Amino acid sequence: MKIVKDVAEMQRTADEIRRSGKRLGLVPTMGYLHEGHMSLVDEARKNADVVAISIYVNPTQFAPNEDLSSYPRDFARDEKLAETRGVDIIFAPSDSVMYPHKQLAFVEIEEVSRVLEGEFRPTHFKGVASVVAKLFNIVKPHMAVFGQKDAQQAFIIRKMVSDLNFDVNIVLAPIVREEDGLALSSRNIYLSEDERKKATVLYRSLKLAQKAVGDNERNLARVRSEMLELIASQSTGKVDYIDFVDPDTFSKVEDVGSLERVLALLAVRFGRTRLIDNMILETRPK
């Protein structure tokens, strides 16, 4: 496994791989790897001959009051995990490599960056889209894998790729959950033992939504109320939002209408830890 820390070297390496006729896949990460990331690596392996992961905690996607400085980092552990899973290249730049000068060029995906996560983190998706654009220009992948766990991020990256004609195929990988339903996230490490147990209510609330919609409930405001009640009765989690969108457009929906699938998304704070989760609700189960 090759570790690359420099932009020019990564671009040269990518050019060589491309010239040799091999397909290069990228899994962009912020490190502190877990099984969720590893499932993205497996997905990349299915689609590419050479698998690269990037490990970079991107400062421009954190607001000043967020957890940039405390975001968990453990490169030695990440390196071992990546190697064991058959990753070929780790691109691990420093801040001065990624942002050598004051950055003035950014990518903004309008409208969809302002809702849900964007209401609570107004600058977040500008940072995400811009760093992913930089990573695409540096690693030059044929394809890249993103997790459905960050559903809004995945939608935004797809929109960027399609609107700006990036020559990268985006593949989405399903959410990986612990046995008790908690979606894997590097931030789960912040949870106390009690918060960790209570956080499983997020999955239960999404399953409740799936059941309600599957049982023909069309009114999503009512589904939201039931989810809020469940979360309040089983935890001290503070709900930032529970929303429903059309998965194809990301526009909010309050009624199932003729949609066959509705994406339910939520963000809930447990102490200082903010968790997000989502589920595609099948409105006409077999």
Q: Which lies closer to ligand PAF via its Cβ, residue 29 or residue 235?
A: 29
Contacts with ligand PAF, residue ranges (CB under 6 A): 28-30, 58, 61, 128, 131-132, 150, 153
Q: Which lies closer to ligand PAF via its Cβ, residue 187 or residue 197?
A: 187
CB of 30 to ligand PAF, least distance (A): 4
CB of 130 to ligand PAF, least distance (A): 9
Assess whether 37 carries a catalytic annotation: yes
CB of 256 to ligand PAF, least distance (A): 29
CB of 107 to ligand PAF, least distance (A): 12
Q: Which of 34, 37, 124, 142 is catalytic?
A: 37
Q: Which lies closer to ligand PAF via its Cβ, residue 209 or residue 267?
A: 267
Q: How far apart are CA 241 and CA 233, in angstroms?
A: 17
Q: Which lies closer to ligand PAF via its Cβ, residue 29 or residue 148?
A: 29
Which amino acids are annotated catalytic? 37
